Amino acid sequence: MIIPIFNLKFQQCGVFYTTISAQEQALKLKNFVCPIKSCQEICFENLQTLIIHLNKTHKRFYCETCLKEGKKFLSEMPLYNHENLNEHITFGEFSNSGALVVPPHPYCPVI
């Protein structure tokens, strides 16, 4: 039996669930939760407040280009420190076998 979706954004994408449990798990993926396990502040109102928290409290950053690309759930996005973020942007990401997984991000100078 297919359970009708109650979340309008998922409904617009044509996502339906076979169980309530599956629906709840999918909706959790859309929450703005601090990915640092030891953090006392759990959930945030929006992405911007989560980003500010991560930057100020943990000195960790999401790649803005990868966030805008939007091909992963937020919970799947890697966090970087300042040095690793610059390496990610400049050189991209490689698999263990050496294959390019995420290409370097183009640099657009401010004019």
CA 19 – CA 4 distance, rounded (Å):
9
Question: Digits of tens for pLDDT over the chain (111 positions)?
Answer: 444 445 545 555 667 778 888 888 877 777 899 999 899 888 899 999 999 999 999 999 999 999 988 788 888 899 999 999 999 999 999 999 999 999 999 877 666
Residues 98 and 61 in one domain: yes
3-state secondary structure of 75: helix
Structural domain that includes position 22: 1-30
Do both 107 and 60 map to the same domain? yes
Mark whether 43 and 64 lie in a shared domain.
yes
Contact by Cβ (8 Å): 105, 67: no
* Per-residue pLDDT, 3: 47
Say if residue 12 is in the same domain as residue 41: no
Residue 24 and residue 39 in one domain: no
pTM strictly above 0.85: no
Is the Cβ–Cβ distance between 77 and 71 less than 8 Å?
no
The pLDDT of residue 1: 46
Q: How many domains does the chain have?
A: 2
Name residue, tokens 């601090």: 34
Examine the domain organization and report whether 47 and 86 are in the same domain: yes
Same-domain pairing of 12 and 54? no
Q: Quick one: 94 and 63 in the same domain? A: yes
Residue 39 shares a structural domain with residue 89: yes
Do 61 and 94 fall into the same domain? yes
